[in-house]
Chains A and B, each alone.
Chain A
Amino acid sequence: MLLEVDGVGKRFGGFWALQGLDLQIRPGEIRAVIGPNGAGKSTLFNLIIGRYSPTVGDIRYQGKSLIGLSPSERARLGIAIKFQITQVFESLSVLDNVRLSLIGPAASLRDLFRNNGLGAEDEALRLLDVVGLREKKHERVGSLVHGHRQWLEIGMALATKPKLLLLDEPTSGMGPDETRKTAELVKGLGRELTIVVIEHDMEFVRSVAETITVLNNGALLAQGTYDTIKNDKRVVDAYLGKGG
């Protein structure tokens, strides 16, 4: 297993955002995590990247526990994220955002001071090709439309050469056309790396993921293929019935 979430619970004050969660992600898998708002999906991601540490339980990555490692250490191990609300470098150009992301995980201090091809432009442009933003390379990120910001952040995550890519609602705010493109992108990336994606768009989820994990009220509700999930009465009650 690439990632094992083992009996993880996270409490904020008196509220358990996640409780007794077990989850296994195989290498090479594209896994979708769905669930109503407040189900604990983003909390799960935040625990994996190290923004929060679990109140109970363990998270193992490549067989080793992540507990106690800082976010940057986890990133250097190959865990990358696109946040639900995109976090990019607003005053830099699209190209420099990717260049900086190429620099991010590599850097010993000495490397940072040398102009030795670290954050090289051609490598950054190749990544912009992957996410379809080459033509926007000189634009300031502050002026990008929402969908393009999503793609940019995915490109930045890719620049860190991740093994595990976490995508938190990559299609939010996108039209049908952009959503379809994003699905193609994710499927393409899935051939080379492991992806866990949080999404509300069920059509998107169906097209990219073999296995779907459903969370509700901070706990695992159901898990299986799209068809199993679709016909699961508990899931329909908790999520599909309400959310559409």
Chain B
Amino acid sequence: MLLRRSLTTGITVLIISTIAGALGHGFGGEAGLRQITQYLVLGLFAMSVDFLWGYSGLLSFGQAVFFGLGAFCYAWVRKGTFAFIPVLENSSLAGLLSAIVLPALLAVIVGYFLFYGKITGPNFTVVTLALSFLVSLLALGWSGVFGGYTGLPHVPPLALTLGNWEMSARAGMTSFVIVTALCVIAAAGLRSILATPFGLALEGLRDSEQRLQYLGMNVAQVKMVVWTISAAVAGLAGGIYSSIAGYVAYDLLGVLLSTEAVVWVAVGGRGALVGAFLGAVLVRAVSYALSGIALSYWMLFLGVLFILVVLLGSNGIMGLVERFRRGVPSATGS
């Protein structure tokens, strides 16, 4: 059961990535593929939001803090900011590791105050929103480290060396393959976590935190773990993003990206990882296509889309798929 579900999720992510990549390459050649690769990374980011919101009911408008921090971590390591620390010399692996570890550490600190301070429901959401504001402004002001408005340019791409084997992800196809593989692994990994008793506890958390408490569960601890895992995945996505984009700036930490991620998940459908992934890729791709027609309208498009999904009350694309499945019984009668 566990293995099958993880496998299905992984394969679905692989299929979505492949189709998106083929379309991107077909329409836009090398540049198109590169664009799609970025969207896949954002899809990974969206899955971290879904893990938190869709499964556990924790709606955060601060998820970009971890994504952005991950992006900066990779950039700092690759540009030699941490070169004085021997382990963190300029290597891609160290860059990605720090993009996971540092956001996770920040999550533990912030989470401690949030969850042991019993900040729940709408208050939680508002605090995360404030966090996103605060951190992005802080980054903007601290221009020596975060590069101010201009950000940090020329972030080197992923380059891995294993023995004699050397690989650089500058080529579009290589980075596409790496990103796809990472998305598949992350999706399957998150899914396998959800299949454990811990996953059931997360669903309980979403339905009734109080009931869970009166059953004896240490709710704050469960929240800490899901929050930290989600931050680590967001950080990893951020790290990869900066390796592909080659440029990071304070807005990667901000409210706009945080909100956008929530919209992706709402559009794709909550509580189904794959939905979040698809939502991110689709919304970004359509926004891009529209921006070709009318540059300044894609935000409007995003807003209208979000309002529509909320108004229609369905659970995004996954909700439609689910309804279709139930409405049309399959031949096997399942």
> B197 at the A/B interface (Cβ < 8 Å)?
yes
Q: Which of A70, A80, A91 contacts B207 (CB 8 A)?
A: A91
Q: How far is the CA of A88 from the CA of B198 in the complex (A)?
A: 18
Note all chain A residues with C-beta closer than 8 A to B208. 87-90
Minimum distance in angstroms from A114 CB to a CB of chain B: 7
Minimum distance in angstroms from B315 CB to a CB of chain A: 11
Check A89/B204 contact, CB under 8 A, given A107-B197, A111-B197, A113-B198. Answer: yes
Q: How far is the CA of A190 from the CA of B281 in the complex (A)?
A: 57
Q: How far is the CA of A24 from the CA of B225 in the complex (A)?
A: 40
Q: Is the CB of A113 within 8 A of B196?
A: yes
Note all chain A residues with C-beta closer than 8 A to B2. 115
Q: Chain B: interface secondary structure?
A: helix
> B213 at the A/B interface (Cβ < 8 Å)?
yes
Interface residue total, chain B, C-beta cutoff 8 A:
26
- In B2-60, the 8 Å CB interface with A consists of 2
Check A156/B215 contact, CB under 8 A, given A112-B201, A115-B2, A118-B197. Answer: yes
> B160 at the A/B interface (Cβ < 8 Å)?
no
- In B212-240, the 8 Å CB interface with A consists of 212-219, 221-222, 225
Minimum distance in angstroms from B38 CB to a CB of chain A: 32
A89 and chain B: residue at smallest CB distance: B207
Q: How far is the CA of A113 from the CA of B192 in the complex (A)?
A: 10
Note all chain A residues with C-beta closer than 8 A to B219. 72
> B210 at the A/B interface (Cβ < 8 Å)?
yes
Q: How far is the CA of A118 from the CA of B211 in the complex (A)?
A: 18
Q: Is the CB of B225 within 8 A of A109?
A: yes
Q: How far is the CA of A219 from the CA of B206 in the complex (A)?
A: 38
Note all chain B residues with C-beta closer than 8 A to A75. 213-216
Q: Which of B195, B198, B215 contacts A104 (CB 8 A)?
A: B215
Q: Is the CB of B225 within 8 A of A103?
A: no
Note all chain B residues with C-beta closer than 8 A to A119. 197, 200
- In A108-151, the 8 Å CB interface with B consists of 109, 111-115, 118-119
Check A103/B200 contact, CB under 8 A, given A89-B208, A91-B206. Answer: yes
Q: Is the CB of B200 within 8 A of A109?
A: no
- In A44-97, the 8 Å CB interface with B consists of 49, 70-72, 75-76, 80-81, 87-92, 96
Q: How far is the CA of A107 from the CA of B221 in the complex (A)?
A: 11
Q: Interface range on chain A: under 10, 10 to 19, 20 to 34, or 35 or more?
A: 20 to 34
Q: Is the CB of B193 within 8 A of A104?
A: no
Q: How far is the CA of A49 from the CA of B215 in the complex (A)?
A: 10
Q: How far is the CA of A89 from the CA of B213 in the complex (A)?
A: 12
Q: Is the CB of B204 within 8 A of A92?
A: yes
> B89 at the A/B interface (Cβ < 8 Å)?
no
> A101 at the A/B interface (Cβ < 8 Å)?
yes
Minimum distance in angstroms from A2 CB to a CB of chain B: 18
Q: Is the CB of A81 within 8 A of B214?
A: yes
Q: Is the CB of B200 within 8 A of A100?
A: yes
Q: How far is the CA of A71 from the CA of B193 in the complex (A)?
A: 27
Minimum distance in angstroms from A131 CB to a CB of chain B: 16
Q: How far is the CA of A114 from the CA of B196 in the complex (A)?
A: 6
> A160 at the A/B interface (Cβ < 8 Å)?
yes
Among all A-B residue pairs, the 4 with the closest Cβ atoms: A105-B216, A104-B215, A75-B216, A89-B207
Q: Which residues of A contact B (CB under 8 A)?
A: 49, 70-72, 75-76, 80-81, 87-92, 96, 99-101, 103-107, 109, 111-115, 118-119, 156, 159-160
List 7 contacting pairs A-B, 8 Å CB cutoff, sorted by A. A76-B216, A87-B208, A88-B207, A103-B200, A107-B201, A119-B200, A156-B211
Q: Which residues of B contact A (CB under 8 A)?
A: 2, 193, 195-198, 200-201, 203-204, 206-208, 210-219, 221-222, 225
